[in-house]
Structure formats: structure tokens, C-alpha cells
Amino acid sequence: MSKLSRRKLITTGLTVTAGASGLVAAAKLAKRYGLIPPDSGGIYGPGETLTYATQRLLTRHSLAREFSRSQISKNPFANEVAPLGEDFKRFQLGAFTDWRVAVDGMVARPASFSLAELKGFPRRGHITMIQCEEGWSYIAEWTGVALSHVLERVGALPQARYVVYRSIQTDWWESIDMADALHPQTLLTYEMNGGELPVGFGGPLRMRVSRQLGYKSVKYITRLTMTDNLKQFGKGLGSASPEGGYAWFAGA
């Protein structure tokens, strides 16, 4: 069977099953194809599974909409962040020259990169919209290095299924699957609208996951961990969001 018709069959199977005999049955089907999100338990679990599984089957390679320079928002809105601690302020005083991002877990060569090193990697950029789950949004140009490039540098192991990314704000951490981690629009950004990425917008280093809601674009990134199992992180739901009642998969 061709790839597309197989996908179509599975997707139809998922939706029809969901309607006919309930979301739980659809979740069973999704499980057979390895499409279970980490927050699949609880009352919203079967719904989360259906959303994630159908999205992955239909839009694995889709691109987030890109805009033109003239559409960049004149007054982008920086969502307030909790006060940044002494450790962050020390980095800031040193113009972030000592800021590093560690890359570990299921990689052949664990490493730690300075901002200067990241800036030496191929530059990538896009003009996309970031949307908060609370309703507001803005369009900006984001520039940095493709996450896929960084993962290639450290030799991501083929068994790895997710990238967990952490912030200096320890209560902000997220993870994405390999479809998003290797996606060309997923960037570790250090510039916004052609200038340094301002601290309010996540400078010096922000993950930009362009196909998902704003909360997946975590600010002040310090560590990336590749894993095949999200159970060992936090409460085992994949990220801080489901611990607070939001979906792990936030495809927008």
C-alpha cells in the first residue's frame, strides 16, 4: 500500500473509531502506531491522543505559515516572565559571553555550546506568528541555528524520540518529538527582527517551535536532553504544561 493511502486509512480509522466506539478505542489504534503523547492519561488523555495521532499522520512535514517583512508586528507583546534570578543577572552583566547550552542524553558526543559557537553554525530564520494560548499573537522574524543542526553535531542516536529542553527558569521546561525537533522551522534563536534577542523575549537563547503554541517556545534555554522516554522527567507527562493543565502537544 502506498504511504499516503496507508496514512489515510489509519487516519480514517482513528476518526471513525473515535465517533463509533469512543475515544478510548481510537487511542488503542494510535498506540499500535506509536502515536501516544506523554500526557495520554486522565480524562483528557484520549482526546490528546486523537489530536496528536491525527496531526502527526496528516501534517508531519507541514510548514508553519511564513509572512513578509512588511507584516512584522510593530509592537510585539512580550509576555511577562517571573523575575529572573541572580544567576541570570550574572550572565547578563557579562553580556552573556558565559551562557552555554548543554546537550546530553541519547547522543554520541555530549557537548556544551557557547552563544559564539551557536552563532558560528549555519544561520536560519523565518518570519512567523507566535500565539499565546490566552489569545494574543504577534509576527516576528526569528534567527538562530536549526535545532536539527545542533542535534547532528552531537550525534543524536536513532533510538531518541524526544528532545527535552530546559530553561534557567527551572519551572519552564518542555519537550517535542523528533518530527518537530528535526523540523526546518524549529530553531534555537538568538536574534529577533534583525537585532539581539531582547531578554523580555527570551534572550540570549530561545527555542522557537513554530508549529505549536507560544508556551512551547521556551525562553532562556540552558540544556537539551535527548531521550526515548519522558517518564523520567518531572511528573512524567512530557513537560511542565500538562502538569499545569495544558496539552503537551500544542499544534497551532
Which residues contribute to the site for ligand MTE (CB under 6 A)?
Answer: 77-79, 81, 130, 132, 167, 169, 172, 201, 214-215, 217-220
Does residue 132 belong to the site contacting Mo ion (CB under 5 A)? Answer: yes
Q: Which residue is nearest to ligand MTE (CB)?
A: 214
Minimal distance, residue 83 CB to ligand MTE, in Å: 11
Q: Which residue is nearest to Mo ion (CB)?
A: 132
Minimal distance, residue 76 CB to Mo ion, in Å: 14
Q: Which does 185 bind (CB under 5 to 8 A by kind): ligand MTE, Mo ion, none?
A: none
Q: How many CA atoms lie within 13 A of 187 on its CB side?
A: 24
Q: Which does 51 bind (CB under 5 to 8 A by kind): ligand MTE, Mo ion, none?
A: none
**Residue partners of 230: CB distance under 8 A and separation at least 6:** 38, 162, 164, 175, 236, 237, 238
Minimal distance, residue 214 CB to Mo ion, in Å: 5
Of the candidates 157, 148, 149, the one whose C-alpha atom is nearest the C-alpha of residue 107 is: 157
x/- letters, 200..229, toward Mo ion (CB under 5 A): --------------xx--------------
The grid coordinates listed for 144 are 538562530
Pairing of strands 221-227, 100-105: parallel
Cα dist from 164 to 10, 18, 122, whole Å: 28, 30, 22
Q: Which does 182 bind (CB under 5 to 8 A by kind): Mo ion, ligand MTE, none?
A: none
The interface region with Mo ion, picked from 22-30, 32-40, 51-59, 130-138 by CB under 5 A, is 130-138
Q: How many CB atoms lie within 10 A of CB 148?
A: 17
Cα dist from 66 to 69, 71, 129, 130, whole Å: 10, 10, 8, 11
The residue among 99 and 215 lying less far from ligand MTE, judged by its C-beta, is 215
Minimal distance, residue 220 CB to ligand MTE, in Å: 5
The residue among 84 and 132 lying less far from Mo ion, judged by its C-beta, is 132
Q: What is the DSSP annotation of 58-84?
A: HHTT-------GGGS-SSPPPPP-PPP
- Asked if 124 contacts 184 with a C-beta cutoff of 8 angstroms, the reply is yes
Binding stretches for Mo ion (CB under 5 A): 132, 214-215
